[in-house]
Amino acid sequence: MSGQLINQIFLQVMTGLQLGAIYVLIALGLTLIFGTLGVVNFAHGALYMLGAYLAVNIANSIGFGWAIVVVPFVLFAFGIAMERGLIRFFYNRPHTDQILVTFGLAIVIQEVLKWIFGANNLPFSMPSWGSGIVRMHEWVPFLEGFVAYPKWRLILIAVSFATVFGVFALLQFTRFGLIIRAGMRDPDMMKFLGVNISRRFTIVFGLGALIAGIAGIFGGPVTQVDPEVGMHMLVPSFLVVVIGGMGSIPGAVLAGFLLGMALSFTAEYAAIQQIIIYLVAVVVLLVRPRGLFGQKGLME
C-alpha cells in the first residue's frame, strides 16, 4: 500500500470514529432506557441539547473544567426527575402515548431553550487545553509525511470510548449492573425475588441522561449549540439504536461507529451520503428486524 493511501484511510477512519462518537453516546442512553424501561424516549436529543447549552454557559462564565464536573450531575438529576415526575405515569399507557409525551417534552425543551437563548447558535469554542492540532505522524508509526488531526476531536473519541467502557464495566462488574442486566431479561422475576427494580431503573434513566450530557459537553463545540440540534441528532441516533438492536449496548456502540464510518467514507458522494443511514436502517429492519445484536422476539 502506498504511503498516501495509508494516510488517507487513516484520516477517514479518524473522522469516522469522531463522527460516530456522538451518535454512540446518545444511542447508548436511548438503548439503556429502552432495554430497562421499555420506553422510547423521543426527548433524548433534547437531553443532549440541554447538556450542550448548560456546558456552553458554564464554560463561558466560570470555565470549561467546571462544565465537565457540573453538567453530568445536573443531567443525571434531570433524568431522575423526568422519570419520576413524568415517564413513570405512562408505563401502563399504550406505547403511542409514551412516544407522544416524550415528543411533546422534546418540543417544549426546544422552545424554552429558543426562548431563553434565541434561535441562533451559541458560539462554543474549545478550551485552550483542547484546541490545536496533534501531529499524528509523531505518534503513529505507519504514517508518512505531515498528518495532523484536531486535538478536540481526538478527545471526543477518547471520551466516547471511556464512557462506553465505563458503562460496560458498570454492568459487568458491579452488583448494580448485575441487577440491571437481570432486570432487562425479566423484570417481573426480579420483583418476585424482592428486588426494588423500579428504583434501579430510575437510576438507569438518570444514567442515560447523564451520558447524553457528556455527549453535549464534548460534542457541543463540534455540532454547534442551537435549538435545532436536539432533533437533528435524535433521528440518526434512533436509527443507530434500531440497527444495533433495541436494548443492546454492544449493538448501539457498533452501529454508531459504523454510521460514522459510512458518513466519512461517502463524504465525496454527496447524494448517497445524505440518505445512506435511512437506506441501511430500512434494509436492516426488513431483513433482520431485531438488529445486529438485538434479542429475537423483542419488539418485532
The least CB distance from residue 297 to other proteins, in Å, is 11
Q: 3-class secondary structure for the chain?
A: CCHHHHHHHHHHHHHHHHHHHHHHHHHHHHHHHHHHHCCCCCCHHHHHHHHHHHHHHHHHHCCHHHHHHHHHHHHHHHHHHHHHHCHHHHCCCCHHHHHHHHHHHHHHHHHHHHHHHCCCCECCCCCHHHCCEEEHHHCCCCCCCCCEEEHHHHHHHHHHHHHHHHHHHHHHHCHHHHHHHHHHHCHHHHHHCCCCHHHHHHHHHHHHHHHHHHHHHHHHHHHCECCCHHHHHHHHHHHHHHHHCCCCHHHHHHHHHHHHHHHHHCCCCHHHHHHHHHHHHHHHHHHCCCCCCCCCCCCC
Choice between 34 and 171, CB closer to other proteins: 34
Q: Which of residues 46-105 bind other proteins (CB under 8 A)?
A: 86, 89, 94-97, 99-101, 103-105
Q: Which of 6, 60, 117, 121 binds other proteins (CB under 8 A)?
A: 121
Instruction: Based on the shown chain and the rule CB under 8 A, indicate whether residue 218 belongs to the binding site for other proteins.
Output: no
Residue 1 as a binder of other proteins (CB under 8 A): the answer is no
Binding marks (x or -) toward other proteins, 240..269, rule CB under 8 A?
--x--------------------xx--xx-
295 binds other proteins (CB under 8 A): no
- Indicate the angle between helix axes 249-265 and 229-244, nearest 10 degrees: 120
Torsions phi, psi of 128, nearest 5?
-60, -30
Cβ closest to other proteins, residue 151 vs residue 181: 151
CB of 278 to other proteins, least distance (A): 4
Q: Is 116 in the site for other proteins (CB under 8 A)?
A: no
- Closest approach, Cβ 218 to other proteins, in A, equals 13
Closer CB to other proteins, residue 43 or residue 209?
43
Other C-beta atoms lying within 10 Å of the C-beta of residue 130: 17
Question: Which of 98, 42, 80, 2 is closest to 233 using CA atoms?
Answer: 42
Compose the 136-175 pattern: x for residues touching other proteins by CB under 8 A, - for all others.
----------x-xxx-xx----------------------
Of residues 16 through 45, those in contact with other proteins by CB under 8 A are 18-19, 40
Q: Does 2 bind other proteins (CB under 8 A)?
A: no
Which residue stretch of 159-167, 170-178, 196-204, 279-287 sits at the interface with other proteins (rule: CB under 8 A)?
279-287
| Only segment of 44-52, 62-70, 181-189, 277-285 that touches other proteins (CB under 8 A) | 277-285
Q: Does residue number 300 form part of the binding site for other proteins (CB under 8 A)?
A: yes
Considering the complex, state which of residue 116 and residue 178 has its C-beta at the smaller distance from other proteins: 116
Q: Which is nearer to other proteins, 10 or 168 (CB)?
A: 10
